[in-house]
Amino acid sequence: MKLYSINAGYFKLDGGAMFGVVPKSIWSKLNPSDENNMCNWAMRCMLIEDEGRLILIDNGMGYKQDEKFFSYYYLNGDDTLEKSLAKHGFSKDDITDVFLTHLHFDHCGGSIEKDGDELVPAFKNATYWSNENHWKWATNPNDREKASFLKENILPIQQSRQLEFIDTMDEIEFAKNIHVRFVSGHTESMMLPQIQYKDKTIIFMADLLPSTFHIPVPYIMAYDTRPLETLREKKQFLNEALQKKFLLFFEHDPVIECCNLKLTDKGIRSNETFMLADIL
């Protein structure tokens, strides 16, 4: 098995929305905002090469939206999904599986691209993986999440007949050495890949812990649909991760890719930080 960090670029989101009830006087010391109160975040995906499969976990927001849409999110930096794949010798056509942790636009927007006036799969040789609970939630969205579930990112996946569903069972096996954990505080049935790599366990955190800044238990995004459920899920996960020495991979942290955990007098916090490529 080989693991690659794939950066699909950077974008900005409102700091207050990203840190929820935590006041700006505190969070601004962690990730300073610009004059519009916007903080910069990564769209960091993971590529897993194993036993003839090339599995891409999430794919950023893509490039098919109009100028007005992108004006809200301030895309920045030189990284793109294509450049990051090419850096490791791959292209989108090489991907065999696209694993979508959930269907918010910054996680799945790269799934679909424009071919003239048509919307077509960006990964033409891949199977796309979601789960039935989350798919129903995303295709019949509540008013609060509607702006995050964009039909042009989602429906063409099903129309292409490249979509498959993962059973929503606790820690179901997706592939050899890859299990799936389900959490529902951020959105219904979000999937967290749990990867056994050599003698280590790596968890792709998606939006349960979007960054190292979100490790303290009260740091919960205002985007979460069930914040008290997120609170419970975080506490349970962090205790398990500390005990079992999990390594955490962060999708949105603007700088840090991975960390392990330690117990302090203030609770569980990040310990050592490192790049995915440094995991031996």
- 255 Rama class: left (phi>0) / alpha (psi -120 to 50) / beta: alpha
As a whole number of angstroms, the distance between CA 106 and CA 254 comes to 14
Determine how β-strand 97-99 pairs with β-strand 53-57.
parallel
Residue range 198-209: mean pLDDT, rounded? 97
Residue-level pLDDT at 168: 80
* Section 205-210 average pLDDT: 98
pTM score, two decimals? 0.96
Spell out the domain ranges in the chain: 2-278
- 133 by Cβ neighbours in 10 Å (0-12 / 13-18 / 19+) ranks as middle
Average pLDDT over residues 210-228: 98
Q: Name the CATH superfamily for 2-278.
A: Ribonuclease Z/Hydroxyacylglutathione hydrolase-like (3.60.15.10)
Angle at 125 between CA 121 and CA 131, to 5 degrees: 65
Q: In the prediction, which pLDDT does 172 show?
A: 83
- 244 or 280: which leads in pLDDT: 244
The predicted structure's pLDDT at residue 43: 98
- Answer yes or no: are the C-beta atoms of 279 and 197 closer than 8 Å: yes
Instruction: Write the CB contacts of 139 (distance below 8 Å, at least 6 apart in sequence).
Output: 149, 151, 154, 155
Average pLDDT, the chain: 96
pLDDT at 170: 66
Predicted local distance difference test score (pLDDT) of residue 39: 98
**What mean pLDDT do residues 173-199 have?**
95
Q: What does the alpha-carbon distance between residue 187 and residue 190 come to, in Å, rounded to a whole number?
A: 6
pLDDT band (50, 70, 90) for residue 169: confident
Residue 280 makes CB contacts below 8 A (sequence gap 6+) with: 198
